Amino acid sequence: MSAESAWLGPEEWQAVMLSLQVSIWATLAALPPAVFTAYALARWQFPGKQIVNSLVHLPLILPPVVTGYLLLMLFGTKGPVGGALQQIGIVFAFRWTGAALAAGIMAFPLMVRAIRLSVEAVDPKLEQAAATLGASRIMCFATITLPMILPGLIAGAVLGFAKAMGEFGATITFVSSIPGQTQTLPSAIYTFLQVPGGETAALRLTLVSIAIALTALLLSELLARRAADRAGGR
Amino acid sequence: MLTVSLQHALPGFGLDVQFEAPPGVTVLFGRSGTGKTTVIQAVAGLLRPDQGRVALQGEVLCDTSRGQWLPPHKRRMGCVFQEGRLFPHLTVRQNLAFGQWFAPRNAKRENLDRVVELLGIGPLLQRRPGHLSGGEKQRVAIGRALLSAPRMILADEPLSALDEARKAEILPYFERLRDEIGIPMLYVSHSAAEVARLATTVVVLQDGQVQRQGSAAEVLGDPAVMPAGVRAAGALLQARVARHHGDGLTELDAGGVPLYLPQIARAPGSMVRVRVSAHEVILSRQRPEGLSALNILPGTVEHVRTGGGPGAMVSLTTPAGRVLARVTRRSAQALGLEPGAECHAVVKTVSIAPEDIGGGGG
């Protein structure tokens, strides 16, 4: 840590660590519902399917500031959901958890899209075969579908992680940019650019951003290739 | 005993079938597009029929009138599909073990090693399905179904995606299932040769209806039953291997009549089924002399069936069983072939094709 701290200022370091924390939590929390939604959209016919599909895609097409404002209204301490959650001690507004919520919601449609494509590529006849061999729906999913969609799931997770790392508009609207609390990498870069002489700090954070993005991409390529080899029967 | 009664609307026609599958191999026989696969899917639980009832040994699997429905994973039907459907991300061994995992503890289980040996798939165990040939895949699929401790095997045209050589490779394994494991089987096919080799019971489907059901010899010997077309019609004879001759021929004893065919790998005394294609039989009123054909069956004309075309289907009762002959209407008239007429059926040795010779388990 000392080497990095010598290069990055404490505030910059804080922003990097906070961004990683927020993005990892956002990705992990969004993944299970994203897999479920992707599976449901790919495999099930149900009334209102088109509405669910549109809702899922909403964060992708709405201006991020609008999403952030909606989150603030819903999950703020005076909002209907936020107020109720506050009773049991969960607070999103102006906390890092709020940043994670905003990042997760922005990443969700990208994850669903990637995973849905890979679910559609799995032949339902294989799931049928598993059912005739005694596997219940959940076991079919766990033993057949999940391993076979793993490459798409990894791709979706990395895409979601990248989106979460870069999320700016909804986050700053919902939880502002409080150093050490909610100031993520993008909002830190933005803040540095607002003060005279902040360009070098902004440049350092930009380099860190690039490094994190490239690492994530390489890692996912590696994992996805392995998973694809397995799923392809080699 | 499996009892099936189904009504289901399919594009273009309605399926309406009732049949029973006693122990042994019941073949659903019919042209493609007659609803055979729909029947097997309804039995497996992969398709909900519009109306119907399926029961196995008294247990109701599906009864639409009472709203009963057992999901596929609780039915314990071992399915062998046309395309194998092996799990590509698992090794052959894992594929085989898949069904074992979910089989109930108290079920009668097949031993993995025994099944591996029965199907000759020992060398494949560590491979993944992507590296298997079509025939190998199908053998693994049979093993996988067998190891899930099924109460019955359902096979949906398991050979139709294979070439002739592979078919000849896989068919004996189904015979071993019938003869060595003795598991009841419902087998969908449109090939007369497969029916002749495997079936103990035949259910003939035509345009979504059961046209005929009965024992294999009974149904296949009936000239009215030709779902695979006139050219595929043929009778089924039971015979005992009498002796192997030094000149490469095997002599069979079919109800006291000797039949010769190219040497087969069966011990003398064992029973075999021989299929005699109707269009390979020549009829003669006198016992033919000075003829190169070795197989001559004396018999009596049972009936002559004519259609709109120039052909006639003559069925004869012989000591070896019922034989069908496809002749022209003109010769039937010229020879005076009518019920009760004595005549001889001449079958060329080579016309009893080896792929049509099956074990006599039924």
How do residues B185-207 score in pLDDT, each as one tens digit? 999 998 877 888 888 899 999 88
ipTM entry: 0.80
Q: In 3D, which of A97, A62, A61 has the Cα closest to residue A77?
A: A97
Contact A133 B87 (CB under 8 A): no
Q: What is the spatial distance between Cα A183 and Cα A178, in angstroms, rounded to a whole number? A: 5
Choose the closest CB to A133 out of B83, B99, B130. B99
Q: In 3D, which of A100, A22, A108 has the Cα closest to residue A59?
A: A108
pLDDT digits (tens, 9 = 90+) for B12-62: 888 999 999 998 999 999 888 888 999 999 999 999 999 999 999 989 999
User: Residue B182: is it exposed, middle or buried by C-beta count within 10 angstroms (0-12/13-18/19+)?
Assistant: exposed
- Give B360's pLDDT tier (boundaries 50, 70, 90): very low
Query: For residue A2, what are its two tokens?
Result: 């000392």
Checking if the pLDDT of B227 tops 60, the result is no
Region B274-290: mean pLDDT is: 84
Half-sphere exposure of B55 (CA within 13 A, CB side): 11
User: Nearest-5° angle of CA B203, CA B25, CA B48?
Assistant: 60
Chain A touched by B75 (CB under 8 Å): yes
Supply the pLDDT for residue B145: 94
B148 CB neighbours in chain A (<8 A) are: 132-134
Based on C-alpha coordinates, what's the Rg of chain B? 22
Query: For residue A190, what are its two tokens?
Result: 């933005």
Supply the pLDDT for residue B223: 62
Chain A touched by B130 (CB under 8 Å): yes
Supply the pLDDT for residue B354: 47
Identity at B87, one-letter amino acid code: F
Supply the pLDDT for residue B308: 65
A231 CB neighbours in chain B (<8 A) are: 88-89
Q: What is the spatial distance between Cα A113 and Cα A1, in angstroms, rounded to a whole number? A: 37
Supply the pLDDT for residue B226: 60
Residue in chain A closest to B80 (alpha carbons) equals: A129
- Give B350's pLDDT tier (boundaries 50, 70, 90): very low
Checking if the pLDDT of B164 tops 60, the result is yes
Residue in chain B closest to A131 (alpha carbons) equals: B73
Supply the pLDDT for residue B229: 57
Percent of all residues in chain B with a pLDDT value above 70, rounded to a whole number: 92
Supply the pLDDT for residue B361: 41
Query: For residue A139, what are its two tokens?
Result: 């076991």
Identity at B126, one-letter amino acid code: Q
Supply the pLDDT for residue B168: 82
- Give B257's pLDDT tier (boundaries 50, 70, 90): confident
Element holding B31 (H helix, E strand): none
Report chain B's mean pLDDT, rounded to a whole number: 85
- Give B307's pLDDT tier (boundaries 50, 70, 90): low
- Phi and psi, residue A75, nearest 5°: -105, 0
pLDDT digits (tens, 9 = 90+) for B166-185: 888 888 888 888 888 888 99
Choose the closest CB to A133 out of B46, B89, B148. B148
Residues of chain A with pLDDT under 50: 1-5
B87 CB neighbours in chain A (<8 A) are: 126, 129-130, 144
CA distances from A84 to A76, A79, A87, B157, B177 (A): 10, 8, 5, 59, 64
CB pairs under 8 A between A and B: 79
Q: In 3D, which of B264, B221, B257, B248 has the Cα closest to residue B354?
A: B264
Residue of A132, A146, A153, A230 to mutate, testing the B interface (most B Cβ within 10 Å of its Cβ): A132
Q: What is the spatial distance between Cα B237 and Cα B258, in angstroms, rounded to a whole number? A: 12
DSSP label at residue B23: S
Angle between helices A10-43 and A96-120 (to 10 degrees): 40
Region B248-258: mean pLDDT is: 87
Contact B88 A139 (CB under 8 A): no
Region B304-309: mean pLDDT is: 73
Contact B102 A139 (CB under 8 A): yes
B129 CB neighbours in chain A (<8 A) are: 233
